[in-house]
Amino acid sequence: MTIFTLIVAIFNLLLLSKASSTDTLTISQSLPDGTTLVSKDETFELGFFSLRNSTNRYLGIWFKNIPIKTVVWVANRDHPLNDNTSKLTITSEGNLVLLTKNRTVHWSTNTTTKPRRPILQLLNTGNLVLRDDNNKSNNKSFLWQSFDYPGDTLLPGMKLGWNRKTGFDRRVTAWKNWDDPSPGNFTWGITISNNPEMVLWNGSFKLHRSGPWNGVRFSGAFAGSNSLTTHPLYLYKLINNEKEVYYTYTSTNKSVISIVVMNQTLLSRQRIIWIPENATWRLFQTAPRDICDTYNPCGSYANCMVDSSPVCQCLEGFEPKSSENATDLSQGCVTSEPWRCRVKGRDGFRRFVGLKFPDTTNSWVNRSMTLEECRDKCWENCSCTAYANVDVRGGGSGCSIWFGDLVDLKVIAQSGQDLYVRVADSRTVNSQDVHADAKDHRKKIALLVGTTVPPIVLVILLAIVYHYRRKRKHEGENVSVKKDEAGGEVDSMELPLFDLATIVNATNNFSTDNKLGQGGFGPVYKGVLVDGQEIAVKRLSRSSGQGLTEFKNEVILCAKLQHRNLVKVLGCCIEEEEKMLLYEYMPNKSLDSFIFDSAKSKILDWSKRFHILCATARGLLYLHQDSRLRIIHRDLKASNILLDNNLNPKISDFGLARMCGGDQIEGNTNRVVGTYGYMAPEYVIHGLFSTKSDVFSFGILLLEIISGKKNREVTYPYHSHNLIGHAWKLWIEGIPEKLIDSCLEDSCILPEALRCIHIGLLCLQRQPNDRPDMASVVVMLSSDNDLLQPQEPGFLIDRVLNEEELRFRSQTYSTNELTISLLDAR
């Protein structure tokens, strides 16, 4: 120890006390009642204060420049001082203490490390820190900091949560009441598990859960669609690693003060923002927001939907637990049929979209597993009731599985996630994209599709209309399914699984000679089985992101659709990387090979064409309405209408979009499937599809059959219209008969043909709601009732979807034909 070091030390001391005269307290100083410490930027102030009617004195921190005294931290919250004679000092041990007049220690930070030269500083963040001024290399680490002991306010930069190594937990605790800052029963913290979430507690009762973190936000949080998403006032995150798990947020604009406080009178957590012009705090967000945001209002397996009546509804496949009173959901719901765990062919998972994930108390997480592995893991464990992706980024990853009853479920249309819930009926495995509030929430689905999830992702469909019971006759490689009563024809149907060798043999190893064509999702080959039966084999491209079980179940579902105007599915082959569908073989190929061919078009006279139109309409109606599943075809076009020996039409490729996972938000491909030139405007532009988009495609098919021209390939000398535009023009000019194919001149029954054009234009109206449904189309085709006047159709001109737009959606043309898949830009 030399004179020199002493001089340096004194010099430092002088320098320091000069530079930070107000924000720092050294060991030789004290802060008596009536004086304050102010942060360098003058945002925060530390001092003694009393509350309204009480004479108790507290040491605390508040905003210096906000006229409404807003205390954000209290040191001695449960040890009030009873007069104004105390002072704050630092002891030689490095403890921060409150000393009363007779020099007894009233409150202490109880620091254990002994520093050389402790100083106290009030930082610009509002953090009061005690650190060793002797250790310059260590000026970031603190001996003690007020941020580790939050009061009822979470300031930007504070951590809410755990140090996993030491077990130290930081929670925000409301005051007992507005005159007493001591810790109340209302607290906010993080549950410590490998699937943490934020929880608000009233004592030991949960009041609200945030839902687990999904990589972007909490599962229960609104994604929001307002301007605040694009210009947020604050950014928040959940850090979760081996060392720590905590929530924190930062302000994006330093001049906007936004904090989170606990309001114990309402038992609500409130984010408030200071409005300087009006000198008030404005309430910005609260939690819980509504009844469905409180903890588990509906009981297990029940979904809370705040806009519905009743608010609570059992998940599809579940029924109210109390059987006497079906509207009483206070006890939650139970599975309609008992689960039969690990029995082959039993127990599947139904996908519910748009949900806040259930309570994670009994859950387990693995971040590296795929969704498929996750399902298998869940299927094997008899107490596993649901699974889901952990992280939504990059199309979803990781595995989260739940054990025991699923509680605190709710629908968050805008930002909810997919949850796969165990159901007793294996046929529903991942196939029913049941929107969690399927019943009367079409609008929400549209909203969901239109505004949140990438516009092109299409979710959904199909609610099983009836939950029907069935008995399984047989379990084995062949999956046996009992036909529903409405279908009637066959009592029980088996879907054979063919092995790859059989198919390779039948198609002559997929030789090009056997290739019948190339459709969406893959090429089609002709094959002959050993018994001489001719088949068509659709070899699906390998890229489809769907799992095998889902695929198989989709095929089984579609194989059950039997109608004389649908191509029969004979079986499938799933082996290694291959997925193939076997159809009955149609020697006459497809409709487009007739109507667009100058020679063959003569074979189809008017009565045959009219028959094809009516029969196709009936096939489509069956898909839309009469089958138990509601199938939206999504790629109806002349090349998908096959003709049998008697020139009866059969719709093919139905359900492919489902089978190939076109509706799934799995992997990275959220594809719009369909064929440019047949797709409805709302589908091309917004990715919205419905039975009405199929009606639109049917309208085009109808005009093509009558005119013998392809929608996209028509060019007219004086205008840039496509076939639709041309038909509309002729219609307005009062000469629709000019549309009729010249080769029909002799056979045509003019009123019938004109009526068809009229119906076609009704199907092509721009607004989906204006278009008739297929049931009306079938009626219109077979009767001579008056028809409404059509509104202007969508897509008069072919260039609605311009190059720019296509590039934006990074399109890929999957075939030489015009079947396209639009990949959504992320």
Task: Please list the active-site residues.
Answer: 635
Residue 113 sits in the site that holds ligand NAG (CB under 6 A)? no
Q: Which is nearer to ligand NAG, 271 or 435 (CB)?
A: 271
Residue 283 sits in the site that holds ligand NAG (CB under 6 A)? yes
- Minimum CB separation of residue 79 from ligand NAG in Å reads 7
Residue 137 sits in the site that holds ligand NAG (CB under 6 A)? yes
* Separation CA 442–CA 661 (nearest Å): 21
Which one among 21, 28, 230, 278 touches ligand NAG, defined by CB under 6 A? 278
First to last CA, the chain: 64
Residue 192 sits in the site that holds ligand NAG (CB under 6 A)? no
Measured between alpha carbons, how far is residue 434 from residues 101, 315, 464, 630 in Å? 70, 10, 8, 12
Tell me, what amino acid is at 505? N
* Separation CA 459–CA 437 (nearest Å): 13
- Minimum CB separation of residue 60 from ligand NAG in Å reads 14
Which one among 9, 14, 275, 343 touches ligand NAG, defined by CB under 6 A? 275
Binding to ligand NAG in span 158-187, by CB under 6 A: 176, 178, 184-185
Interacting span for ligand NAG (CB under 6 A) from 253-261, 430-438, 502-510, 780-788? 253-261
Helix, strand, coil shares, percent, the chain, to 5: 25, 30, 50
Q: Hey, is 99 helix, strand or coil?
A: strand
Residue 2 sits in the site that holds ligand NAG (CB under 6 A)? no
Residue 291 sits in the site that holds ligand NAG (CB under 6 A)? no
Q: Hey, is 651 helix, strand or coil?
A: strand
Which one among 104, 112, 541, 767 touches ligand NAG, defined by CB under 6 A? 104
Measured between alpha carbons, how far is residue 109 from residues 23, 90, 94 in Å? 19, 10, 9
User: Diameter of the chain by CA atoms?
Assistant: 121
Q: Which is nearer to ligand NAG, 138 or 541 (CB)?
A: 138
Residue 65 sits in the site that holds ligand NAG (CB under 6 A)? no
* Separation CA 496–CA 480 (nearest Å): 9
List the beta strands (DSSP E) in 348-465.
348-356, 363-366, 384-388, 399-403, 409-411, 417-423, 433-435
Q: Which is nearer to ligand NAG, 2 or 137 (CB)?
A: 137
Q: Which is nearer to ligand NAG, 141 or 511 (CB)?
A: 141
Q: Which is nearer to ligand NAG, 100 or 625 (CB)?
A: 100
Q: Which is nearer to ligand NAG, 269 or 634 (CB)?
A: 269
Q: Per-residue string for binding with ligand NAG, 322-351, x by CB under 6 A?
A: ---x-xx-----------------------
Which one among 203, 488, 532, 751 touches ligand NAG, defined by CB under 6 A? 203
* Separation CA 371–CA 396 (nearest Å): 8
Residue 108 sits in the site that holds ligand NAG (CB under 6 A)? yes
**Is beta strand 105-108 parallel, antiparallel or unpaired with respect to 333-335?**
unpaired
Residue 717 sits in the site that holds ligand NAG (CB under 6 A)? no
Tell me, what amino acid is at 485? E
Residue 250 sits in the site that holds ligand NAG (CB under 6 A)? no
Q: Which is nearer to ligand NAG, 276 or 587 (CB)?
A: 276
Residue 817 sits in the site that holds ligand NAG (CB under 6 A)? no
* Separation CA 498–CA 46 (nearest Å): 78
Residue 625 sits in the site that holds ligand NAG (CB under 6 A)? no
* Separation CA 520–CA 671 (nearest Å): 12
Interacting span for ligand NAG (CB under 6 A) from 136-144, 405-413, 474-482, 747-755? 136-144
- Minimum CB separation of residue 14 from ligand NAG in Å reads 16
Q: What residue number has its CB nearest to ligand NAG?
A: 138
DSSP-assigned letter for residue 791: P
Per-residue DSSP letters for 223-274?
---SHHHHS-SEEEEEEESSSEEEEEEEESSTTS-EEEEEETTTTEEEEEEE
Is 807 within 8 Å of 813 (Cβ atoms)? no
Which one among 8, 68, 266, 749 touches ligand NAG, defined by CB under 6 A? 266
Residue 253 sits in the site that holds ligand NAG (CB under 6 A)? yes
* Separation CA 155–CA 215 (nearest Å): 22
Residues 6+ apart with CB under 8 A from 482: 470, 471, 473, 491, 492, 493
Binding to ligand NAG in span 27-56, by CB under 6 A: 33-34, 52-53
Residue 202 sits in the site that holds ligand NAG (CB under 6 A)? yes
Is 733 within 8 Å of 719 (Cβ atoms)? no
- Minimum CB separation of residue 125 from ligand NAG in Å reads 12
The contact set with ligand NAG (CB under 6 A) reads 33-34, 52-53, 84, 100, 102, 104, 108-110, 135-139, 141, 176, 178, 184-185, 202-203, 205, 253, 255-256, 263, 265-267, 275, 277-278, 283, 325, 327-328
